[in-house]
Amino acid sequence: MDNVKRMIREYDTYIFDLDGTLLDTLTDLAASCNYALQQHGMAQRTIDEVRMFVGNGVKKLMERAIPDGLANPQFDEVYQCFRQHYLKHGLDHTAPYPGVLPMLAELKRRNKKIAVVSNKFYRATEELCKHFFDQYVEVAIGEREGIKKKPAPDTVLEALAQLGVTGDNAVYIGDSDVDIATANNCQLPCISVLWGFRDKEFLLAKGATTLVARPEEILDI
């Protein structure tokens, strides 16, 4: 564990990001992205390009992947093609990162409250959490109309409300600069994970204060 700022109090509530934090979704996201691009005669993207495109929701992913982004007259059509493909194939290769399930099981054994907040669209967030983490995650919130996506605090505050707790003894865990900003906007401490879509140098440059290299290290903070 790499602590720039030491966390000393015990937490009762753990708010997790999904993609790049609990689930390795990159292969399926890239496959659906490239399927939609290919179907519309557009150049496909490498896995490393998609890695850097993710973090702000799938609409932003496709905005970055499609030439000229939102200005492209085919944007909506390509984006909907991506969504439909991903809803069908989002579980083809996706799986929890090694160590994630035992970590969640131990948090649950300790009677901690666990929620997931994601910029992934709502239906996919719910289905992925139900499929992989149903016995651990009490609340799962994704992108939907009427609630601002991260880094706005709305999804986290909604998760806390649904859990019936305040943020006084909560901690936020994520893998990106968006997650760091989200935690700051919620006035929550943030644990940044090093197995996700961004590396240590990037996270430190974006203000990360506590870094973990393995899921089990979260249990010791």
pLDDT at site 2: 54
pLDDT at site 76: 97
Do 121 and 205 share a domain, yes or no? yes
From 71, 89, 107, the end of a domain falls on 89
Q: For strands 23-24 and 95-96, give the pairing.
A: antiparallel
pLDDT at site 1: 55
Residues of the chain with pLDDT under 50: 4-6, 8
Which of the residues are catalytic? 17
Please count the structural domains in the chain. Answer: 2
From 68, 89, 110, the end of a domain falls on 89
How many C-beta atoms lie closer than 10 Å to residue 21's C-beta? Answer: 24
How many C-beta atoms lie closer than 10 Å to residue 98's C-beta? Answer: 11
SS3 1: coil
Tokens of residue 74, six digits: 């085919």
pLDDT at site 150: 94
Please tell me the pTM assigned to this model: 0.90
- Rounded CA-CA distance 100/221 in Å is 15
Do 44 and 84 share a domain, yes or no? yes
Do 12 and 117 share a domain, yes or no? yes
pLDDT at site 121: 84
pLDDT at site 209: 95
Residue 151: cis peptide before it, omega within 30 degrees of 0: yes
Check if the beta carbon of residue 120 is closer than 8 Å to that of residue 59. Answer: no
Do 137 and 67 share a domain, yes or no? no
Domain extent at residue 114? 2-24+95-220
- Strand 190-193's sheet: what is its strand order? 2-3, 210-212, 190-193, 170-174, 13-16, 113-121, 139-143
Q: For strands 190-193 and 210-212, give the pairing.
A: parallel
pLDDT at site 143: 86
